[in-house]
Chains A and B, each alone.
Chain A
Amino acid sequence: MTVHGRQGSTPPDLRQVRAYGDTLDDGAVQLSFSLPVPFGEEGKEAARQLVAKMGLEEAQVYHAADLGDGYSFYIVYARCRASVDYSAISVPKVSGERMSGKEVERFIRERIGRRITVLGACTGTDAHTVGIDAIMNMKGIHGEKGLESYKELRALNLGSQVSNEELVARALAENADALLVSQVVTQKDVHKVNLTHLIDLLEAEGLRDQLVVVAGGPRVSHELALELGYDAGFGPGTTAPDVASFIAQEIVARDLVERPPLGSLSG
């Protein structure tokens, strides 16, 4: 009998991490997918073969269902032998300390000494304001009040379907310190196109360096945001203090505390 799994209270080898079901290194994974083939034995075999071609072993089709009109659904369990080196992983994270709302307010009073203007918007054709509202509006989310409740912030929520041009114009008019852009709709990567466009506009106007520009949304990661030219990206589970902490510290770190009125440098 082959011996596998733990032989004592050995910890996992972080240089070779495999999926874990109930036995160390068993590589257990679950998949579900549909195929454009009729429900039946051939369909199940097709699902099994497909999973094998993914490099998974011991594929078991535990459930198959007829979706109608020549389509079928499968739930498959299998083993994945592949491993990753966890010890070598490095993921960019939003820098700075995460402060509470009160701490952010004190930080702004002591280190910045003036109110900060933050504009929030759901840009492009995106009409889903759930995210920007959760961060901006008084009510907030998960018991954390939104940026509107911060005395040291002037928080303006421009709402949905704001064009990038409109956002830049408002940033100038309001002499903004920071822009928060929410993108919920991500079909066909529309969010990336739209987010990139805003950065292009800001650069063309010579405003990019004078502003803290932050993206947020369910499919937005910090890494993606950096890639698109933003200062930070906030994903699901973000609350107002996360964003406020970053903006306040970034303004200090980038020496934007005594920045002249927005646009005055670019002529």
Chain B
Amino acid sequence: MTHRNAAHSKLGIPPEIFARCRVLAQTITTPIDAFVRERTTVAIERTLLRLIGVDGADADGRPYPNIAVEHLCAQGGLGYGILRPLVHAMVSFDLTPQEACEAIAAGEVTLDLHPTDPRDAEVQALAQRLADQALQRILQTREERARRMAAAAPMKDPLLYVIVATGNIYEDAVQARTAAIQGADVIAVIRSTGQSLLDFVPYGPTTEGFGGTYATQANFRIVREALDDVGAQLGRYIMLCNYCSGLCMPEIAAMGALERLDMMLNDALYGILFRDINPQRTLIDQSFSRRINALAGVIINTGEDNYLTTDDAVEATHTVLASQFVNEALALQAGLPPEQMGLGHAMEMDPQLRHGFLYELAQAQLVREAFPQHRLKFMPPTRHMTGNTFRGLVQDALFHLLGGWTEQGILLLGMHTEAMHTPHIADRKIALETAQMILSNTAGLGDELTFRPGGVLQSRASETMDKTLALLEETAQRGLWDMLAAGRFAAVARHPEGGRGLSGVARREATYLDTIDARLRRATGTPTTEGGAA
């Protein structure tokens, strides 16, 4: 990563303003962190099972982690956590975690929520050992990535990121391999529309879906192997990206950590606003997910770019910036370093707008200056793509020009066929070829050009900054829950008791045995939870 001189602002923004935004973001997120610490969710409990090695599904396709956690909930015990009763069953009947879950599914074992026998020390010791092993597996995967990256050609920002979205994982693998050969650094496998609302992770390879196929552990592995194979031929490391968002956010974070995904889309605010997922549920899930992402070395991608697809792209740019400060604070709480924060933003203004390019330039530069060490993810036009592929290619060219000029970290390449169909194999080639040409042809542009004092760019940035500060001040006063309920982000109103997934949230009971999250907190340098047996 380039170390940018934060003190010098081309836009004339004093560094104190960014510092003030960060203080406000911390004020906003501190109560969220306190709220999250006291709670767990069905998804978190299922993730704990996955991390200690529970996998697979029964004959009806119900994943064992779901069966075990549903069993726990049926006894009114979500708040007690799965770990203590499960490990107790393992100790009592001499079972592995997988065997214990299968036994629960078969009705052979009933979890005891209040075990009182003298084996508690044994249970705690085993739970600690399982936590150690879980963290070891994640760290080994991280080391494997580091080894492979060290042996490959160094990766340069901006990382060129393209999507594959055929709906069939085997076809996705073909498209991913060819995209890598064509020069892509990051391949994102798009998942099926609607998966974010499933409260379980489908099992095994999938060859169906809408607008993509399911995020499953087997699917992760299939594309990971394809990219490792083609990467070895090319002497490059090819990053793999998928989504850990929606109702199974932490489970998919764990799957990604185990299968060496390098990037994951992870943004509770996105789920709240655009998928109507319950705000409490997903913020609790996100905190845990991000600790897994942090430990696994996964770069998260946040979804603020989407605000501009529902709200006005000219008037709402400050909501993107404000949300990025909030997301940064939430990520820091979870132990993610800036280099692993792919804060999202987008070029979504109407290309017919006079001065539009200048406003976009001001915004992209402003985000760059606000987050100098972050892996900013810049998203291409989607809203004003029309089906006129010739015009679309030019819109994308303007986007690539901006991305290089303002030194974005990750460029999600626009497809000239956006708004028509998910990318065809040649669409990606055209995008990569065009982007590479523009980035190389205009290399160094940003270093050479300064902005006219008081000109359109500086004025626009300063106006956005004022509005960002005002929005953060208001959010710090009213609280994030209230602001979401009032529809102050993306012009969508979401109530803390509304949306999907609230029934899967519980307050942790006093006997909640927390070994894995406690170890994650220690490993990611985020303060440990009170209580529990950690």
Contacts and interface: CB of A to CB of B under 8 A. Distances in A.
Check if A and B associate.
yes
Contacts of B383: 130
Interface of B is mostly: loop
B310 A133 contact: yes
Contacts of A236: 386-387
Given A68-B177, A69-B230, A160 B167 contact: no
Nearest to A126: B193
B424 to A, nearest CB: 7
A187 B167 CA distance: 9
Given A188-B167, A236-B387, A67 B429 contact: yes
A125 B246 CA distance: 13
A67 B386 contact: no
Q: Which of A32, A71, A126 has the most CB of B within 10 A?
A: A71
Given A67-B429, A69-B177, A137 B194 contact: no
B178 A67 contact: yes
A: interface residue count bin: 20 to 34
B276 A218 contact: no
A55 to B, nearest CB: 23
A112 B55 CA distance: 61
Contacts of B534: none
B276 A160 contact: yes
B178 A185 contact: no
Interface string B164-190: 000100000010011011100000000
* Residue among A69, A73, A161 having the largest count of chain B Cβ atoms under 10 Å: A69
A130 B308 CA distance: 10
B-side interface size class: 35 or more
Contacts of A160: 274-276
A161 B387 CA distance: 25
A194 B211 CA distance: 15
B122 interface: no
A67 B312 CA distance: 38
A159 interface: yes
Interface in A43-76: 65, 67-69, 71, 73
Tell me which of B209, B387, B429, B492 has the highest count of chain A C-beta atoms within 10 A of its own C-beta. B429
Given A71-B425, A218-B419, A185 B310 contact: no
A127 interface: yes
Interface in B186-228: 192-194, 196-197, 209-211
12 contacts: A34-B424, A34-B425, A65-B429, A67-B426, A125-B194, A130-B309, A137-B491, A161-B276, A187-B209, A187-B211, A187-B422, A236-B387
Given A127-B196, A188-B210, 18 more contacts: A32-B426, A33-B426, A65-B426, A67-B426, A67-B429, A73-B425, A127-B194, A129-B310, A139-B312, A160-B274, A160-B275, A161-B194, A161-B197, A161-B275, A187-B167, A187-B422, A190-B210, A236-B386
Interface of B: 167, 174, 177-178, 180-182, 192-194, 196-197, 209-211, 230, 274-276, 309-312, 383, 386-387, 419, 422, 424-426, 429, 433, 491-492
